Structure 1
Amino acid sequence: MTATRAEELKEKLIDTAKTSLDDAEELLREAAGTTGEKAAELRERAMAALKRTRDTLYDAQDAVIQKGRHAARVTDDYVHDKPWQAIGIAAGAALVIGMLISRR
């Protein structure tokens, strides 16, 4: 997945979650001011909107966990295939971080 595609999916997820939460909030406000069958219907619709939001967030969580596992697997394979390059990269990163810290 490319960075732009991931960014598009992230924005879509955020927009979906915001819309669902706004809908649920509005429905709960309406339900607070009404009674009887209408209030029950509004509460049901609000709960459905919250369930959609929760499901969307769970799906996103699953995708992030899956991508994290894939990244860890790829990194592990790389380190096993090219241990000296991995050591060199780690040493270079440590050197840069050490230089940045010592500048303070």
Structure 2
Amino acid sequence: MANRAPHTHESTQQLKEDLHHLTQTIEELVNATADDSRSNIKELRDRAEKRLKETRDRLESRGERLYGEARDSVEHQVDACDRYVHDNPWTSIGIGAAVGVVVGMLIGRR
């Protein structure tokens, strides 16, 4: 699961960059054709503006939903860990001590 986080972050960052470039391109197209009064150009501009707005709205709602799901998942995992520690205090102390010994040995080797 830890290996997925950097990949997910990179994918999210790439998606943001791609969408930013797409948005810029469409906005440039809309601005460049703003003075053209031909009806087909005006119709294309209107459709591009409409699709851009729809895409932005859809992505914003999806991003909010994904954020909510991730937050809920993390909260659930924290609660499960907390319950485990309370239900198994000696096991938790043993695990903590073992991790401390391993970290101490690794630091001691330097």
TM-score (norm 2): 0.64
In structure 2, the CA distance between the partners of 1:80 and 1:47, relative to structure 1 (3 Å rule), is same
5+ residue gaps, structure 2, are 36-41
1:1-104 equivalences under 5 Å are 14=11, 18=15, 21=19, 23-35=22-34, 37=42, 39=45, 41-104=47-110
CA RMSD of aligned residues (A): 3.0
Q: Which runs of 5+ in 1 are unaligned?
A: none
Shift of 1:75: 0.6
Please say if residues 24 and 47 of structure 1, whose CA atoms lie closer than 8 Å, have aligned partners that are also in contact: no
The offset of 1:65, in angstroms, is: 0.5
Higher relative contact order, chain-length normalized (CA < 8 Å, sep 6+) = 1
Cα contact 1:31–1:43 (8 A) shared by 2: yes
Instruction: Name the TM-score, length of structure 1 as normaliser.
Output: 0.67
Structure 1, residues 29-87: CA drift from partner, whole Å, max 9, x if none?
A: 32131216554553343232222222221111111100111101111111111100001
1: CA distance between counterparts of 2:29 and 2:67? 31
Query: 92-101 or 18-27: which moved more?
Result: 18-27
Give the aligned length: 94
Moved over 4 A (4+): 36-41
Of the two, which has the highest radius of gyration? 2
- After superposition, the Cα gap between the structure-2 partners of 1:39 and 1:82, relative to the gap in structure 1 and judged at 3 Å, is same
Compute the displacement of 1:23 (Å). Answer: 4.5
Letter in 1 for 2:30: A
